[in-house]
Chains A and B, each alone.
Chain A
Amino acid sequence: MSKIHVTTTVNGDEVEFLCDPRETVLDVLRDRLGMTGSKEGCGTGDCGACSITLDGRLVCSCLVLGAEAEGREIETVEGIATGEDLHPLQQKFIEYAALQCGICTPGILVATKALLEKNPDPTETEVRYWLAGNLCRCTGYDKIIRAVMDTAADMREAS
Chain B
Amino acid sequence: MALDNMKTTGFTQVGTTPNRPDGLDKVTGRARFGADVTAPGMLHAVIVRSPHAHARIKRIDTSKAEALAGVKGIVTRADFATGLTGENWNILENVMASDTALYDGHAVAAVAATSALTARDAAKLVEVEYEILPHVTDVDKAMAPDAPVIRAGAADGSVPEGQHPNVVRYHESGHGDVQAGFDEADLVIEDHFTTEATHQGYIEPHACLGILGGDGKGELWCCTQGHWNVQKICAALLGLETANLRVTASEIGGGFGGKTAVFIEPVALALARKTNKPVKLVMPRADVFKATGPTASTSMDIKIGMKKDGTITAAQGVFRLQGGAFPGAPADMTAMCAFAPYALSNVHQVGYDVMSNRPKQAAYRAPGSPMAAFAVESVIDELCGQLGLDPIEVRLKNASKEGTKASYGPTFQRIGLVETLEAAKAHPHYSAPLKPGQGRGISCGFWFNHGGETAVSLALSEDGTAQLAVGTPDIGGSRASMALMAAEELGIPYENIRVTIADTATLGYNEVSHGSRVTYASGLATIEAARDAVKKLCGRAAAKWGIPEDAVKWENGCAVPSGPNAGDFDPLPMAEITANMGATGGPIVGHFEATPEGAGVSFATHIVDAEVDPETGKTSVVRYTVVQDAGKAIHPTYVEGQFQGGAAQGIGWALNEEYIYGDDGRLQNALFLDYRIPVASDLPMIDTVIIEVPNPGHPYGVRGVGETSICPPLAAIANAVSAAAAVRLRQLPMSPPRILEALEQKRDG
Contacts and interface: CB of A to CB of B under 8 A. Distances in A.
A80 interface: yes
B680 A134 contact: yes
A41 interface: yes
B508 to A, nearest CB: 26
A106 B117 contact: no
A77 interface: yes
B24 A86 contact: yes
Interface string A19-63: 010110001001100011111111110110100000000000000
Contact of B673 (A40, A44, A109): A44
B285 A44 contact: yes
B680 A103 contact: no
B648 interface: yes
Nearest to B652: A137
Interface string B667-690: 000011100011111110110000
Interface string A71-95: 0000011101100001000100111
A116 interface: no
For the side of the interface on A, what is the size category?
A: 35 or more
B648 A141 contact: yes
Contact of A43 (B285, B475, B685): B285
Interface in B16-48: 17, 19-20, 22-33, 35-36
B32 A36 contact: yes
Interface in B643-660: 644-645, 647-649
Nearest to A102: B26
Contacts of A106: 29
Contacts of A35: 29
Contact of B641 (A38, A93, A97, A137): A97
Contacts of A67: none
B116 interface: yes
Given A76-B29, A103-B33, A140-B648, A132 B680 contact: yes
B679 A41 contact: no
Contact of B672 (A27, A39, A42, A132): A42
A135 B285 contact: no
B28 A99 contact: no
A82 to B, nearest CB: 11
A43 B120 CA distance: 14
A31 B685 CA distance: 38
Contacts of A37: 28-30
Contacts of A134: 679-680
B256 A20 contact: no
B645 A140 contact: yes
A128 B672 contact: no
Contacts of B22: 102
B205 A41 contact: yes
B680 A94 contact: no
Nearest to B23: A94
B694 interface: no
Contacts of A23: 117
B145 interface: no
B36 A36 contact: yes
Which of A38, A43, A78, A97 counts the most chain B CB atoms within 10 A?
A97
B35 A100 contact: no
A158 interface: no
A75 B26 CA distance: 17
Nearest to B19: A94
B680 A101 contact: no
Nearest to B638: A97
Given A140-B645, A141-B648, A90 B205 contact: no
Given A101-B202, A145-B685, A90 B36 contact: no
Given A93-B27, A135-B679, A142 B686 contact: yes
Contact of B683 (A27, A137, A140): A140
A86 B205 CA distance: 28
A47 B680 CA distance: 12
Interface string A127-154: 1110111111111111111100000000
A37 B27 CA distance: 9
B266 interface: no
Contacts of B640: 97, 143
B251 interface: yes
B26 A105 contact: yes
Interface string B425-452: 0000000000000000000000000000
Which of A27, A42, A125 counts the most chain B CB atoms within 10 A?
A42
A109 B681 CA distance: 17
Contact of A47 (B203, B638, B644): B203
A72 to B, nearest CB: 20
Nearest to A97: B637
A119 B649 CA distance: 30
B351 interface: no
Given A103-B204, A146-B685, 14 more contacts: A20-B117, A22-B117, A38-B29, A41-B285, A44-B672, A47-B285, A77-B28, A97-B637, A97-B640, A131-B679, A135-B201, A135-B672, A137-B256, A140-B678
Interface of B: 17, 19-20, 22-33, 35-36, 115-117, 200-205, 251-256, 282, 284-285, 475-477, 637-638, 640-641, 644-645, 647-649, 671-673, 677-683, 685-686
21 contacts: A37-B29, A39-B35, A44-B672, A77-B28, A93-B23, A97-B477, A101-B254, A101-B475, A102-B25, A103-B202, A128-B681, A128-B683, A131-B681, A137-B254, A139-B648, A140-B644, A140-B647, A140-B683, A141-B678, A141-B683, A145-B685
Which 6 pairs between the two chains have the least Cβ-Cβ distance? Answer: A37-B29, A103-B253, A140-B648, A102-B26, A94-B23, A100-B476
